[in-house]
Amino acid sequence: MKSPFRTFLALMLAMVGLTGTAPAAPLKVASLSTVLSDVARQVGGDRVQVEEIVKGGVDPHEFSPSPSDVQTVTEADMVLISGKGMEGYLAKLEQGADAKKFVNVGDRLGNSLKLVEDGKKIEDPHWWHSVANVKKAADLVRDALIAADPTDKDAFTANAAAYQTKLDALDKAIKLKVAELGRDKRKLVTSHDAFQYFARDYGFKIYPIEGVSTAEEPSTRKVAELLGTIKQEKVKAVFFENTQNPKVIEQITKETGARLGGELYADGLGAPGGDAATYEAMMKHNVNTVVDALK
Ligand SMILES: [Zn+2]
């Protein structure tokens, strides 16, 4: 038998459900990319809780998930993947997990640049050095969030639109800064081959010291070739990277007279609280460092 109180309670619960006054918990978004962590926070706002598996300042080429990272992925509603081959450990995370919650942003961007590594053509995974790619990534993240949580569609749509405006301003700011540099001076010598998308969008020529991954040591022959090129092309400055050993770059400056242009963020955001803790800050840091050193 139903008591009047029970009927009242059932009615109240139904009303709460109908009017949506009970706030749902934010979506748990695990991220394997520091750039995508930032994008998810920008687009998701307070409707997402971002769990950074790969943290700022960590080399993603060398990263391997710990048992607690696997646990975080298991508990997440969504997993953002940098893609284009960056996460060699992906199979380990996907094993036994719900395939639907994995969003491979890099792979969905398409139009990959190619790199040759160990004689094989591979996809260049450093897509975020193109602001145009991050604009597409923001749309992909927005659509994935809406699919996972349709009730917050309006918030995600508005946040994504606001972020697109910021990214357009960033792209303009980068182009203005690059315009300070003559075309013949747009030459980038860095520790590994990470800036091809940047070079394509903003008109630079790249002289990498290592290949695409950071695991291999440059050969003596490769270094000798590069020394010749730097002298011949009169490259004013060379750059080292936040997650790399600066030894080879220092040797190059000694032997060519090119100066140390500063530190670049090649593989994602810098550590929290630093000068590259957001995507916008990282891109501005990189372009300012490059242009000011090569002028
Ligand atoms: Zn890299």
Structure-block tokens of residue 84: 């284009």
Please list the alpha-helical segments (H only) found in the chain.
4-19, 34-44, 67-75, 90-94, 105-109, 131-148, 153-178, 196-202, 220-232, 247-256, 279-294
Q: Do the strands 187-190 and 205-208 form a parallel or antiparallel pair, or are they unpaired?
A: parallel
pLDDT score of 60:
95
In terms of domains, do 152 and 55 share one? yes
9 to each of 4, 5, 20, 204, how far by Cα in Å? 9, 6, 16, 67
Residue where a domain terminates, one of 156, 174, 192: 174
Interval between CA 19 and ligand 1 midpoint (Å)? 48
Same domain (yes/no): 135, 197? no
- 236, 163: one domain: no
Of 259, 261, 193, residue with least CA distance to 222: 193
Instruction: In whole angstroms, give the CA distance from residue 219 to residue 203.
Output: 28
Alpha carbon of 61 to ligand 1 centroid (Å): 6
Give the range of the structural domain holding residue 248, as residue numbers without chain letter.
178-294
Together in a domain, 165 and 203? no
Cα separation of 218 and 221, whole Å? 8
Assign residue 51 the CATH number of its domain: 3.40.50.1980
Instruction: Let me know whether 152 and 227 are in one domain.
Output: no
Ligand 1 centre to CA of 9 (Å) is 58
Amino acid at 285: H
The number of angstroms, rounded, from the C-alpha of 71 to the middle of its chain's C-alpha atoms is 22
Percent of the chain whose predicted confidence (pLDDT) is above 70: 88
214 C-alpha to ligand 1 centroid (Å): 6
* 283 CA → ligand 1 middle, Å: 15
pLDDT tens digits, one per residue of 186-234: 999 887 789 999 999 999 999 877 655 666 667 778 778 888 989 998 9
280 Cα to the center of ligand 1, angstroms: 18
Instruction: Please list, in sequence order, all residues whose beta carbon lies within 8 angstroms of the beta carbon of residue 22, skipping any fewer than 6 positions away.
Output: 16
**CA 266 to the chain's CA centroid:** 9
What is the 71 CA–ligand 1 centroid distance (Å)? Answer: 26
Q: Round to whole Å and give the CA distance between 43 and 132.
A: 16
How much distance in Å is there from the Cα of 215 to the middle of ligand 1?
A: 10
Q: Looking at per-residue confidence, does 171 or 1 come out higher?
A: 171
With both helix axes pointing from N to C terminus, report the angle between 279-294 and 153-178 in degrees, rounded to the nearest 10.
0
- What is the CA(77)–ligand 1 centre distance, in A? 28
Distance 82 CA to ligand 1 centre (A): 12
> Among 129, 151, 174, which residue terminates a domain?
174
What's the CA-to-centroid distance between 264 and ligand 1, angstroms?
11
Q: 5 CA to middle of ligand 1, Å?
A: 63
Q: Give the pLDDT confidence of 20-78 residue by residue, as tens digits.
A: 555 689 999 999 999 999 999 999 999 999 999 999 999 999 999 999 999 999 999 99
**Each residue's pLDDT tens digit, 79-135:** 999 999 999 999 999 988 899 999 999 999 988 999 877 778 899 999 999 999 999
Please give the distance, rounded to the nearest whole angstrom, from the Cα atom of residue 40 to the centre of ligand 1: 21
**C-alpha 148 to ligand 1 mean position (Å):** 30
Per-residue pLDDT at 2 exceeds 50: no
